Amino acid sequence: MKTKAYSYKEFLNNIDTVTELHISYNEEIVPSKLKSLTHLHFGYSQFEKLPVWIRDLKKLEGLSIQHSKLTDLPSWLVELSNLKKLEIPNCPLTKIPEVLLNMEQLEELNLDDTQLQSMPKDFALPNLKHISLGYNYKLSNGDVLDALAQLPRLESYELPSSMSLKYSYGKANPDVYYFDRFLRILSKKRKILLEKDHLEHSHMQALYAIFKQDEKELSATKIRLFYELLNCTVNKYREMVLEHLSSTNKGAKTIIKGKKLFVLGKLKVKRADQEDWLAETGAILSKKLTKDIDYVVLGEKPKAKLHEVLKSEIPILIEKDVWDIKDSAYLMDESPQMASNLSNLLQNPSSENVEIALQIMEQGGMPKDIIEEMIGLMLFHSDANLRKRIKIIFDRYLSVELPNATKKLLAKQAYRIKDDKKITAYLQDIVKDTSFDIGRLAYTVYKASNKQQAQGLCLSTPKISNLVIEDYIDKNGRLELKPHKRLANGLHLDRLPAAIEELIQENKITRLEIDKSQNNLSLKLKGDFLRLKGLKRLRLNLGFQRELPDSLFSNTDLEELELSAYSIKKLPKEIGNLQNLKRLDIYVRKVSTFPKEMEALTKIKKISMTMGSSNFPSFIPKSKGLERLYISTPINSLPKEMEMLTKLRYISVKLTKDCSFEDQGRLEKLKELTNKRK
């Protein structure tokens, strides 16, 4: 019979049969013998990193870590495929660790009383049933509610205390109010939607976007989802969708006089009266869905024939749209004039906007000044049906003679290209023998592919790099330069975009993060590429790169530097130039000595280090303003000068077995002093 252990002594006596364990950190634990462990609880752990031995607990279902100092979670946590409940409250996490977004089996997540500043945009954990975010005062209402709306199986939640009440100081909290209404009214029948109607969670997100009238989300939602929602069993949802489709279709101009229309689904007008109803428009009502149908008038419950219509690319009208155009000029034989806002429509290439633009162009032609936009959409738009329609119009109205080589390139299925470097080469080949603008083309590809493709070319094109970079700066001014997670082979850049320095000067970027540890970020940090005047905070992970970029140490305005470089063996003396540093996090496992010039870093308040030697760095006792010190590498001595650091409030160092009793006593004395100063 399996047993539970609530003390280390009980654990040692029953090590093979323990299923639940409550402990504090102890290095004597042997994970290879914890064969039956399913639940692990730590009390006031004070962990700064998760113990590596947890990695071997493959049967673990629940993990609770209380009052730690964790700022991130290791990537190996995803290997615990049975872990369904994770509790890490009371820790200084500032963002949701990336590894959690890959743990699809999670059912419960407790992040109470952390220091979260934002929620990830992609938070669609498919099995999460409960999440607790209590006492996270820095989170914004919108971030939290949008994240929770992505969880398809959410049953209960704890909001930060500042959001928990619908009314605060007598005033309504509209964000929470509308979200509660969504979960209580719309999501009451979530099971019907997801299981009986065989809808996807993306349909629920589309409903949420309509419910809160978020223009940005609505424009980014595929029109197909709204059409498919007309088949759901809940009347309220169908009415919401029809109202939305009607309100967003007002800009569409359509000639229906003499056109054949087919009614699909249930309309407010009785079927017996539909022919008379449409007679006033000059349209012809067809009783069968045939290939020569010009438009489908869509109502509620179109059923299986909807997929046939979507597949055939027949233009769709909503019942209200037909009434709106009954008395318009488009009933006459006049061709509509080319709309002046075509380019504006294509600047936001949602399926809906492109559909409107195509309807206009079908009647009036395609102007030359939107050729690049049309090429980008034709090659890389995420909607395959729209790509085909765009190609038909492009071939019909293209008034310039293209070289044969360019025509062959345009005939390729370019949307299948995922490697950023190959996309760059492909687009450069397209413009080689034409007068096309490479910047406009690259930016259209970037937008048409939901900001997944052509990132490298956009960032290296001065005209548009600012626009792209600003898409990735978070509300705290942090820019993380890394490959898009959906790109197959990474982000291709020859150098840092010049626009980054401009945005730093404008104070739009206050923290820059570059992760070179991933093989799929081809960024050559040579020459002056890291010379970024005005940069205050930098996180640089060089992975196993063997050299540090010289330009790194020219950034004398730096106040915070986090440097990870696992293969370098020596730090250059130029590091002493960074005299404004207040925080230094440095992980250099092969560096055994530190240059004397680091003694000039007198403004440092926080130091965190991992190094390749047991010798205590000589520059640390010279840092008179030092407040916090963490060294993960065991050291063999502790200088007496450390006792002179009167501002030191926290110290975490480990001593080797060879250190003297004097050093051990000095460390204990230092810890007592720092505790008194807190």
- Read off the CATH number of the domain in which 119 is found: 3.80.10.10
Candidate ranges 40-49, 314-323, 400-409, 483-492; pick with highest mean pLDDT: 40-49
- Higher-scoring residue by pLDDT: 87, 494: 87
Residues 490 and 377 in one domain: yes
pLDDT of residue 334: 36
| Across 445-452, average pLDDT | 86
Candidate ranges 215-224, 335-344, 360-369; pick with highest mean pLDDT: 215-224
Tell me, yes or no, whether 184 lies in a domain: no
Residues 242 and 368 in one domain: no
- In this predicted structure, the answer to whether residue 644 has a pLDDT above a threshold of 80 is yes
- Mark out the alpha helices in 365-516 (DSSP H runs): 371-380, 384-397, 404-410, 420-432, 438-448, 455-459, 462-471, 498-505
What tens digit of pLDDT does each residue of 229-284 get?
Answer: 888 887 778 888 888 887 776 444 456 667 888 888 888 777 777 777 676 666 78
| Across 424-446, average pLDDT | 91
pLDDT of residue 339: 42
Distance in angstroms (rounded) separating the CA atoms of residues 471 and 234: 37
Mean pLDDT of the chain: 81
Percent of the chain with pLDDT over 70: 82
| Across 337-349, average pLDDT | 67
Distances (CA, A) of 363 to 279, 358, 360, 386: 22, 9, 6, 17
Residues 325 and 418 in one domain: no
Residues 348 and 479 in one domain: yes
What tens digit of pLDDT does each residue of 57-90 get?
Answer: 999 999 999 889 999 999 999 999 999 999 999 9
pLDDT of residue 297: 86
- In this predicted structure, the answer to whether residue 325 has a pLDDT above a threshold of 90 is no
- 586 - beta bridge partners? 563, 609
Residues 406 and 324 in one domain: no
Residues 252 and 279 in one domain: yes
CB 454 within 8 A of CB 438: no
Residue 491 belongs to domain spanning:
337-495
pLDDT of residue 208: 80
Token code pair at residue 126: 């498919």
Residues 324 and 348 in one domain: no
- Higher-scoring residue by pLDDT: 21, 201: 21
φ and ψ at 476, to 5 degrees? -95, 10
What tens digit of pLDDT does each residue of 547-563 get?
Answer: 888 888 999 999 999 99
- Higher-scoring residue by pLDDT: 218, 161: 218
pLDDT of residue 429: 93
CB 424 within 8 A of CB 457: yes
Candidate ranges 106-115, 498-507, 520-529; pick with highest mean pLDDT: 106-115
Best CA proximity match to 265, nearest among 229, 291, 236, 240 = 229
Candidate ranges 73-77, 316-320, 410-414; pick with highest mean pLDDT: 73-77
| Across 92-118, average pLDDT | 92
Answer positive or negative: Cα dihedral of 177, 183, 184, 186. positive
pLDDT of residue 16: 74
Residues 534 and 671 in one domain: yes
CB 643 within 8 A of CB 666: yes
What tens digit of pLDDT does each residue of 152-174 get?
Answer: 777 777 877 666 544 444 455 66
Q: Which residues contact 28 (CB under 8 A, 6 or more apart)?
A: none
Residue 258: give its domain's CATH number. 3.40.50.10190
Tell me, yes or no, whether 173 lies in a domain: no
Residues 8 and 157 in one domain: yes
Tell me, yes or no, whether 244 lies in a domain: yes
SS3 403: coil
Angle between helices 462-471 and 438-448 (to 10 degrees): 20
CB 5 within 8 A of CB 14: yes
Please classify residue 302 by burial: count the beta carbons closer than 10 Å to its beta carbon, then call 0-12 exposed, 13-18 middle and 19+ buried. Answer: buried
**Range name among 68-77, 108-117, 497-506, 563-572 with the lowest pLDDT average:** 497-506
φ and ψ at 115, to 5 degrees? -120, 35
| Across 666-676, average pLDDT | 88
Tell me, yes or no, whether 175 lies in a domain: no
Residues 62 and 94 in one domain: yes
Q: Using 50, 70 and 90 to split pLDDT, how confident is the model at 329?
A: very low
Distance in angstroms (rounded) separating the CA atoms of residues 114 and 27: 27
At position 523, the amino acid (one-letter code) is L
Tell me, yes or no, whether 543 lies in a domain: yes
| Across 589-598, average pLDDT | 92
Tell me, yes or no, whether 183 lies in a domain: no
**Range name among 264-278, 293-307, 329-343 with the lowest pLDDT average:** 329-343
Distance in angstroms (rounded) separating the CA atoms of residues 99 and 121: 14
Q: Which residues contact 532 (CB under 8 A, 6 or more apart)?
A: 496, 500, 501, 504, 512, 538, 555
Torsion of CA 295, 297, 303, 307, to 10 degrees: 30
The pTM for the full model equals 0.46
Q: Using 50, 70 and 90 to split pLDDT, how confident is the model at 30?
A: low
Residues 363 and 482 in one domain: yes
Task: State the total domains in the chain.
Answer: 4
Residues 226 and 304 in one domain: yes
Distance in angstroms (rounded) separating the CA atoms of residues 479 and 471: 9
- Mark out the alpha helices in 91-194 (DSSP H runs): 141-148, 174-181, 190-191
| Across 382-405, average pLDDT | 80
Tell me, yes or no, whether 200 lies in a domain: no
Q: Which residues contact 226 (CB under 8 A, 6 or more apart)?
A: 206, 241, 244, 245
| Across 127-134, average pLDDT | 88
Q: Using 50, 70 and 90 to split pLDDT, how confident is the model at 311?
A: confident
pLDDT of residue 653: 92
**Range name among 254-258, 507-511, 653-657 with the lowest pLDDT average:** 254-258
- Higher-scoring residue by pLDDT: 3, 537: 537
Residue in the block written with tokens 């949420």:
208
| First vs last C-alpha separation in the chain | 48
Tell me, yes or no, whether 126 lies in a domain: yes
Element (H, E) at 330: none
Domain boundary pick from 331, 352, 382: 331
